[in-house]
Amino acid sequence: MYPAYRFLEAADIEHCLSRVTGDYAENPDIYPRAPQFWRRLLAAGTLNGMVLEDLTQAPRERLAAFGMSIFVSPEFMAEARRLCWGRMRSGGRTRSRD
């Protein structure tokens, strides 16, 4: 493995999302809307993310890991929990598919 990391870009979102498993990926209220939501947060500057790639792999196979942090208000979180996340058993935590 020849690792390299870089900032998450909007073009990475679907590929990263395809690696997510667990309650988040299985939730029909959240998962289908996630790409648009992540793009909106990224464009607003409230989502920060990094992508770790294995440069020895082909371009579509390079994604080794990714991570994200979002910065939102308490009001935003209360509304998000009320609408969707309250239905998730893990409390919104996800795990990477591997």
6-22 per-position pLDDT tens digit = 999 999 999 999 888 88
**The pTM is what?**
0.70
How far is it, in rounded angstroms, from Cα 98 to Cα 84?
Answer: 26
Q: Where are the beta strands (DSSP E) in the chain?
A: 3-7, 20-21, 47-54, 63-70, 95-96
40-57 per-position pLDDT tens digit = 989 999 899 999 999 999
Domains of the chain, by residue range, sit at 3-96
The reported pLDDT for the residue numbered 53 is: 96
How far is it, in rounded angstroms, from Cα 84 to Cα 56?
Answer: 39
The alpha carbon dihedral of 53, 32, 48, 13 has a sign of positive
**SS3 (DSSP) at 67:** strand
The reported pLDDT for the residue numbered 97 is: 43
Give residue 84's pLDDT band: very low, low, confident or very high (50, 70, 90). Answer: low
How far is it, in rounded angstroms, from Cα 81 to Cα 62?
Answer: 33
